[in-house]
Amino acid sequence: MKQKEQIEQYSGPAGGWGALKAVTKSWLGSDNAFRNLRAMLKTNQNGGFDCPGCAWGESPENGMVNFCENGAKAVNWEATSRLVDPEFFAQHSVSELAKQTDYWLEYQGRLSHPMRYDASSDHYVAISWQEAFDLVAKHLNALQSPDEAEFYTSGRASNEAAYLYQLFVRAFGTNNFPDCSNMCHEASAIGLFETIGVGKGTVVFKDLEHADAIFIIGQNPGTNHPRMLEPLRAAVKRGAQVVCLNPLKERGLERFQNPQLPIEMLRNGSKPTSSAYYHPALGGDMAVFRGMAKFLLQWEREAHAQGGEPVFDHEFIRQHTNGLDAYLAAVEQTSWLQIVEQSGLQLDEIESLAHIYRHADRVIMCWAMGLTQHRHSVVTIQEVVNLQLLRGNVGKPGAGLSPVRGHSNVQGDRTMGINEKPPAFLLDALEKRFQFKVPRSHGHNAVQAIQAMEEKRAKVFIGLGGNFAQATPDTPRTHQAMRNCELTVHIATKLNRSHLVTGRDALILPCLGRTEIDVQAHGPQGVTVEDTFSMVHLSYGQLKPRSPHLRSEPAILAGIAKATLGNFPIDWDWAIADYSRIRDLIEQTIPGFKDFNQRVQHPGGFYLGNAAARCEWNTASGKAQFSPSALPAQLVNEHVTSRGDNPDLILQTLRSHDQYNTTLYGLNDRYRGVFGRRDVVFVNQEEIRRLGYQAGDKVDLVSLWEDGVERRVSGFELVAYDMPAGQAAAYYPETNPLVPLESYGERTFTPTSKFIAIKLKKAQPSEVIATTAV
Ligand SMILES: Nc1nc2c(c(=O)[nH]1)N[C@H]1C(S)=C(S)[C@@H](COP(=O)(O)OP(=O)(O)OC[C@H]3O[C@@H](n4cnc5c(=O)[nH]c(N)nc54)[C@H](O)[C@@H]3O)O[C@H]1N2
Ligand SMILES: Nc1nc2c(c(=O)[nH]1)N[C@H]1C(S)=C(S)[C@@H](COP(=O)(O)OP(=O)(O)OC[C@H]3O[C@@H](n4cnc5c(=O)[nH]c(N)nc54)[C@H](O)[C@@H]3O)O[C@H]1N2
Ligand SMILES: [Mo]
């Protein structure tokens, strides 16, 4: 597995031959080439399965084979022929496995049997499904309160699985639903819900075809949403402005060669994916938007005085919004000095952004983790909303707000009620339909779940997918918190580090993946998912399950529920015999799913609808709400500086091109020119010199926080990179030990993964962390 380590500059376009080569390599290297090719051809097709990669949606008219390089990697990774079976676990103790890298662990193949941890031998041993379910039930029923259990969800779970899960957990008696969304788009959900009355994006695929300007903010679609590059390129081609706000030069946001267009490939042509590119400070986006609003206000006043064309959409503002005056007062109060200082941009750059915005009739704002993983993310997203409201860019074709979602069904899971702060209408509907008293108090999010386990207030952890131990902050502390549990349970497809961070009792429950055929009592079943555009569609697995012992996620959850609660509040076996029954329950309790089973048969699925996109505002005032927040007084947290320490740099943690969150498909980051390794930290050349180092030096990264705990990761090579001064970037999850558990977003509890105050220290090689070195 050792690959050549190399750092070099990448000058080609995103996509293109490199993508094709990577797809071919991933396909041929998958040990299952022909089977998987058939599977890949079914990706995102009607009657096929939903790509287990990202949540990007499809053009309803697009008849092409819709998979991308990273979707192909996701499919091949799941459809490997390698197996992690009882023999594998007999060979390797848990302590031995814990010494392996994350890459090695997942590479070993698909989990094949339910396994129970045997502390006396330090090995996982096979266990029957019924014994596993009974063990979970025994632990759950022994708790003093249902709130002593944490029920985690990663965003790959289908609607059907998520719905059964939340029903079971609420019938058990708690709203403890930490989920990956807490670490992801939580700020978008809160920021949008308060202002436009719905915590989701208002844009559909078609809008991208009609926008005059598309802003891509804090997002790297070339790697994380590759199917987005084609619509961006098409937008540039028809003369729309595609404007990027990103401190890094991301290749996918500059040029793209569509590997699915043979002529372009043969001519070796490539096309730009953006028309303007700005590099703000980390966390500086709110100041950028505030500056844009300040220009718009100035121009509006000038136009008014001179009798020119108004800049604001007064009709929209009057009819649909609330709070304009307070907002404009806040804009006026914000000084240009603070705007420029915090944004990291020059005043004329902000002016040209405002100019582009003003002269586009229809504007879409897209964003991802660069906006959501900051301390002040909610108000930043609300500033995006403010801008859009000023010119009526919500609820009309070709315009809107588009938080681009991560996991393929993370949006659907929330719709199904995976939510530690469930809305009253959902609880009321569940209570009415199932006739039990649902828990009303808020449950734990991901950070609070860790805190509860740390303090032994929570004793059972159940994970529906994901890799909680690695995706979360403050790694050593989080691991200890999980070890404090009486029982840890992971429903998973592949071995990962979370399975090795065991409670006193621990189970691994292997499940079918999205690509596999799911047969229940009434025959083969499909599941449904919701993409980032609120399109709901069916997904049918195509491949024979990798092991006869695998069960589907709904079947595993039904097994746990039945063992714990008996046939309360439903007959669980009845529900999973035919998933259309679960969809009926969804229809009866979740708004928007009328005639679910019929409508989902429609090719391409159906649009769930979005009130804000229809200009219906489910807010307290009944209107879309302007938010008059001030810019943060300072970006660096006072808990960082309280000890008088000033950071060398602010670090953001991001994804390489060869990873899916904590899953590493390989060790290359092609577009950033890094090959065969991940132990690098990107810093501006001048900054490296200023700090007394040279590119190529090895350093340790130490983060600052007032608790004085030393948080350090070791042996990272400094790579000179074209990026603003004062910043650093390195890969997640290796850098998660640097994020203090208490460093989270205001009201979101999202770890500040894009803003970590660090110092560089000369490397101490002995301290290289075994779990993350490759
Ligand atoms: N292949 C692949 N696809 C994926 C994933 C994956 O890991 N691999 N993960 C999925 C998931 S769960 C998610 S949430 C999405 C994540 O998708 P992204 O949000 O694109 O993922 P990140 O790698 O975190 O990239 C964040 C981007 O924001 C920029 N950025 C960081 N801080 C700031 C800031 O303060 N301001 C601005 N303007 N920009 C900033 C970074 O330079 C980087 O380009 O992708 C999904 N799709
Ligand atoms: N520092 C830092 N930390 C971050 C982030 C960051 O940008 N920086 N990003 C955050 C974000 S946006 C997210 S979404 C979280 C992700 O957090 P998670 O969703 O918890 O992590 P993943 O790495 O996506 O989970 C991978 C595991 O899921 C399991 N799996 C894969 N497919 C399936 C399936 O079909 N069913 C089941 N049951 N299991 C399956 C496999 O065992 C695999 O090992 O991480 C967050 N953490
Ligand atoms: Mo995510």
pLDDT digits (tens, 9 = 90+) for 47-87: 777 777 777 887 766 543 456 777 778 888 888 889 999 99
Hey, how many other C-beta atoms are within 10 angstroms of the C-beta on 116? Answer: 18
CA of 661 to the centre of ligand 2 (A): 5
Q: Please, is 237 exposed, middle or buried when counting C-beta atoms within 10 Å of its C-beta (0-12, 13-18, 19+)?
A: exposed
Same-domain pairing of 170 and 194: no
Atom of ligand 1 at shortest range from CA of 654: 23
Using a 10 angstrom Cβ sphere, with 0-12 exposed, 13-18 middle and 19 or more buried, the burial of residue 396 is: middle
Instruction: Check: CB of residue 657 under 8 Å from CB of residue 357.
Output: no
Q: Is the CB of 527 under 6 A from ligand 2?
A: no
- Is the pLDDT at 153 greater than 70? The verdict is yes
* Residue 103: band (very low, low, confident or very high) from pLDDT cuts 50, 70, 90: very high
Q: What is the DSSP letter of 516?
A: B
Is there a single domain that holds both residue 569 and residue 657?
no
Higher per-residue pLDDT: 11 or 656: 656
**pLDDT tens per residue, range 379-436:** 999 999 999 999 999 999 999 999 999 999 999 999 999 999 999 999 999 999 999 9
pLDDT digit string, tens, across residues 556-612: 999 999 999 999 999 999 999 999 999 999 999 999 999 999 999 998 899 999 999
> Hey, which of 246, 410, 750 would you mutate to test ligand 1's pocket, going by the most ligand atoms within 8 Å of its Cβ?
246
Rounded mean pLDDT of the chain?
93
Q: What are 387's two structure tokens?
A: 């801008």
Q: How confident is the model at residue 26 (pLDDT cuts 50, 70, 90)?
A: low
Sign of CA dihedral 286, 288, 293, 294: positive
Question: What whole-number distance in Å separates Cα of residue 290 and Cα of residue 695?
Answer: 36
554 lines ligand 2 (CB under 6 A): no
Quick one: which atom of ligand 2 is closest to the CA of 185? 12
Confidence of residue 258 (pLDDT cuts 50, 70, 90): confident
Both 157 and 104 in one domain: the answer is yes
C-alpha of residue 334 to centroid of ligand 3, in Å:
32
**Range 438-444 average pLDDT:** 98
Cβ neighbourhood burial of 336 (10 Å; 0-12, 13-18, 19+): exposed
Buried b (16+ CB within 10 A) or exposed e, 672-696: bbbbebbbbbbbbbebbeeeebeee
Nearest to 213 by CA among 226, 232, 230, 186: 232
Pairing label, strands 363-367, 400-403: parallel
Is residue 733's pLDDT more than 70? Answer: yes
Q: Provide the pLDDT for residue 60.
A: 63
Whether residue 495 has its Cβ less than 6 Å from ligand 2 = no
461 Cα: distance to centroid of ligand 2 (angstroms): 16
Q: Which helix (H) or strand (E) holds 683?
A: strand 680-683
d(CA 202, CA 613): 5
Structure confidence at residue 263 as a pLDDT band (50, 70, 90): low
Q: What share of the chain is helix, strand, coil (3-state, %, to 5)?
A: 40, 20, 45
Please give the distance, rounded to the nearest whole angstrom, from the Cα atom of residue 471 to the centre of ligand 2. Answer: 6
Quote the pLDDT of residue 669: 95
Q: Are 550 and 540 in contact (CB under 8 A)?
A: no
Domain span including residue 399: 186-405
At 44 the pLDDT is 63
250 lies in the same domain as 308: yes
- Residue 324 maps to a domain: yes
Is beta strand 505-510 parallel, antiparallel or unpaired with respect to 115-118?
A: antiparallel
Please report how many Cα atoms fall inside a 13 Å half-sphere around the Cα of residue 463, on the Cβ side: 30
Confidence grade of residue 15 (pLDDT, cut at 50, 70, 90): confident
Name residues whose C-beta falls within 8 Å of residue 450's C-beta, 6 or more positions apart in sequence. 472, 474, 477, 478, 481, 741
Ligand 1 binding pocket includes 45 (Cβ within 6 Å) = no
398 falls within a domain: yes
369 lines ligand 1 (CB under 6 A): yes
Share of the chain above pLDDT 90, in %: 82
- Which residue's CA is the closest to the ligand 1 atom numbered 19? 369
Centre of ligand 1 from the C-alpha of residue 407, in Å:
12
Residue 769 inside a domain? The answer is: no
- Span 309-317, mean pLDDT? 98
From the CA of 179, how far away is ligand 2's center (Å)?
10
Beta strands 487-492; 460-464: pairing state: parallel
Paired tokens of 582 = 């679960």
> What pLDDT, on the 0 to 100 scale, is given for residue 267?
67
Q: Cα(254)–Cα(277) distance, rounded to whole angstroms? A: 8
Q: Is the minimum distance from the CB of 496 to ligand 2 under 6 angstroms? A: yes
Give the 3-state DSSP-derived string for 557-607, with helices as H, strands as E and coil as C.
HHHHHHHHHCCCCCCHHHHHHCHHHHHHHHHHHCCCCCCHHHHCCCCCCEE
Q: Which residues pair with 537 in a beta bridge?
A: 529
- Name the pTM for this structure: 0.95
**CATH classification at residue 665:** 2.40.40.20
User: String of b and e for 238-264 (b: at least 16 CB within 10 Å)?
Assistant: eebbbbbbbbbebbbbbbbbbbbeeeb
CATH code for the domain in which residue 559 is found: 3.40.50.740
| DSSP per residue, 369-420 | HHHHSSTTHHHHHHHHHHHHHHTT-SSSTT-EEEE---BTTHHHHHHTT--S
Which among 28, 54, 79 is the end of a domain?
Answer: 79
Which of 352, 371, 405 represents a domain boundary (last residue)? Answer: 405
Three-state helix/strand/coil letters over 625-650: ECCCCCCCCCCCCHHHHCCCCCCCEE
Structure tokens at 221: 């679609």
Atom index in ligand 1 nearest the CA of residue 155 equals 12
Pocket lining: 653 vs ligand 2, CB cutoff 6 Å: yes
Based on the domain organization, do 496 and 473 belong to the same domain? Answer: yes
> Does the pLDDT value for residue 209 go beyond 90?
yes
Closest Cα to atom 15 of ligand 1: 406
Instruction: Based on the fold, state whether residues 748 and 652 are members of the same structural domain.
Output: yes
Residue 466 Cα, ligand 2 centroid: separation in angstroms?
A: 4
Q: Which of 23, 43, 374 is nearest to 185 (CA)?
A: 374
332 in the same domain as 192: yes
Using DSSP, state whether 307 is helix, strand or coil.
coil
Q: Output the six-digit token pair for 640.
A: 């960082």
CA angle, corner 639, sides to 636 and 642, nearest 5? 95
157-169 pLDDT, tens digit per residue, is 999 999 999 999 9
Domain boundary among 79, 94, 112: 79
Do 173 and 301 belong to one domain? no
Measured in Å, residue 659 CA sits from the centre of ligand 3 at 13
Alpha-carbon span 353 to 350, nearest angstrom: 5
Q: What is the largest CA-CA distance in the chain?
A: 83
Measured in Å, residue 296 CA sits from the centre of ligand 1 at 29
Cβ–ligand 2 distance for 222 under 6 Å, the answer no
DSSP of 88-152:
HHHHS-HHHHHTS-HHHHHHT-EE-S-EEEETTTTEEEE--HHHHHHHHHHHHHHSSSGGGEEEE
Q: 41-45, 251-255, 316-320, 471-475: which has the minimum mean pLDDT?
A: 41-45
Q: Which residue reads 């007084």 in tokens?
A: 633
Instruction: Give the number of the ligand closest to the Cα of residue 721.
Output: 1
> Which residue did the predictor score with more confidence, 718 or 30?
718
Q: Is residue 480 part of a domain?
A: yes
List the residue whose alpha carbon is closest to atom 30 of ligand 1: 370
Cα 687 to middle of ligand 3, angstroms: 30
CB of 406 within 6 A of ligand 2: the answer is yes
Cβ contact 42:20 at 8 Å: no
Rounded percentage of the chain residues whose pLDDT exceeds 70? 93
Tokens 């669980």 belong to 572
Is 417 a member of any domain? no
Probe target for ligand 2 pocket from 78, 180, 374, with the most ligand atoms within 8 Å of CB: 180
Let me know whether 698 and 681 are in one domain: yes
Q: Which long-range contacts (CB under 8 A, 24 or more apart) does 696-699 make?
A: 697/763, 698/763, 698/765, 699/760, 699/761, 699/762, 699/763
What's the pLDDT at 764?
Answer: 74
| Token couple for 635 | 């970006």
pLDDT digits (tens, 9 = 90+) for 594-610: 999 999 999 889 999 99
What pLDDT does 9 receive?
A: 80
Please tell me whether residues 442 and 492 are part of one structural domain: yes
**In the numeric block, which tokens belong to residue 33?**
């080439």
Ligand 2 mean position to 725 CA, how many Å? 31
Task: Give the Cα separation of 218 and 286 in Å (integer).
Answer: 12
Ligand 1 site, residue 659, Cβ cutoff 6 A:
yes
pLDDT attached to residue 262: 64
Over 50: is that where the pLDDT of 770 sits?
Answer: no
Write out pLDDT tens, residues 27-49: 666 666 666 666 666 666 667 77
Closest C-alpha to ligand 1, atom 11: 406
pLDDT(254) > 70: yes
Within-domain flag for 447: yes
Query: What's the chain's length in residues?
Result: 774
Per-residue pLDDT, 66: 59
Q: Nearest to residue 290, comparing CAs of 326, 356, 346, 334?
A: 334
How many folded domains does the chain comprise?
4
Ligand number, closest to the Cα atom of 225 = 1
Give distance in angstroms: CA of 655 to centre of ligand 3: 11
476: preceding bond cis by omega (within 30 degrees) = no
Q: Classify the phi-psi angles of 61: left when phi > 0, otherwise alpha if psi is within -120 to 50, otherwise beta.
A: alpha
Residues 113 and 226 in one domain: no
CA gap 66, 129 in Å, rounded: 37
Residue type, position 656, single letter: S
CB of 498 closer than 6 angstroms to any ligand 2 atom: no
Residues 392, 348, single domain; the answer is yes
List Cα–Cα distances, 683 to 341, 637, 695, 705, 746, in angstroms: 20, 21, 9, 22, 28
What is the structure's pLDDT at 769? 47
**Does residue 634 have a pLDDT over 60?**
yes
What is the average per-residue pLDDT within 281-297? 98
CA distances from 730 to 659, 679, 700 (A): 13, 8, 12
Cis peptide before 733 (omega within 30 of 0): yes
Q: Is the pLDDT of residue 768 over 60?
A: no
- 663 in contact with ligand 2, CB cutoff 6 A: yes
Which of 220, 658, 672 to mutate to test ligand 1, by most ligand atoms within 8 A of the CB atom? 220
pLDDT of residue 65: 44
Instruction: State the pLDDT at residue 64.
Output: 39
Residue 350 to residue 289: CA distance in whole angstroms: 8
Rounded Cα gap, residues 100 and 85, in angstroms: 17
pLDDT value for 68: 75
